[in-house]
Amino acid sequence: MSKDKNSCLALNYHRVRQGNLLDTLLMIFSNSKELKNYSVTNKELGQQLKWLKEQDANFVTLDEFTKYKKAGKFPAKCVWINFDDMDSSIYKYGQPVLKEYNVPATGFVITGEVGNDNFHNLQMSDTEELKKMKDSGLWTFATHTNKLHTLTKEGSIFVKPENRSKVQVDIQKSIDYLHREFNEDVTAIAYPYGQINDETIDELKQTPIKYGFTLQEQSVTKKTDNMKIPRILVNNSSFEEVVKKWEGFK
């Protein structure tokens, strides 16, 4: 990661599992990449937030993050917490932990799949759950596309040439939903699976989107391209090996 202390950590989460005996057994015997790379337990999330608080992390909202990025100056020990997809595990097991530690977060919502009880084997939060999260005062929402979130052997469908003509309409639908339901003025997108290319960015620039987020183990500096902002995918391994070793905490 950059040694520039004028920087911020964007920490990205997906699933939050209930840390019980069954979960422990599943982790021991499973080869699931989804379980091991894209999830933490509620206990692990709590331990991570506790550690960050002990380092005097300065937790920022998405709005604050983008304002600091635009100004080219981040506060010391800047940390921005965000979640992708917004499946129900975040509401059930993540939200109580965020509330306990009073940490703000951003949820990147696949708006066309809200309430879907079997989206790629995930139960997605419905509008009611998302509204309860919003009403807690801890959450803001941005887009993770409307209906362009699927991974094939060739990669994310969001960046496929044959879908380029669909990008503007899809993103505008997502923006409209988030404004209608949560009064969000959306200018940020988390790219599905962190994948993006310049041609798709050109399409996004025809929409209100001004900030795009990838998945990469780098801190964010004032020089970072606003349409290719890295986020660290958090699991136990990356928290120990990447987050805890950030120069900004020293």
Q: Note the pLDDT of residue 32.
A: 47
Q: Note the pLDDT of residue 152.
A: 94
Whole-angstrom distance, CA of residue 188 vs CA of residue 95: 22
Q: Note the pLDDT of residue 19.
A: 72
Give the residue ranges of the chain where pLDDT is below 70. 20-37
Q: What is the pTM of this model?
A: 0.93
Q: Note the pLDDT of residue 20.
A: 63
Q: What are 213-239's pLDDT values in tens digits?
A: 999 999 999 999 999 999 999 999 999
Structure tokens at 143: 């887009």
Core vs surface per residue 159-182: b (16+ CB within 10 A) or e: beeeeeebbeebbbbbbebbeebb
Q: Note the pLDDT of residue 147.
A: 98
Q: Which domains does the chain have, with CATH numbers?
A: 7-249 (3.20.20.370)
Strand ranges (DSSP E) for 24-174?
39-41, 58-59, 78-85, 105-109, 139-143, 151-152, 155-156
Largest CA distance in the chain: 49
Q: Note the pLDDT of residue 134.
A: 99
DSSP 243: G
Q: Note the pLDDT of residue 10.
A: 99
Q: Note the pLDDT of residue 23.
A: 56
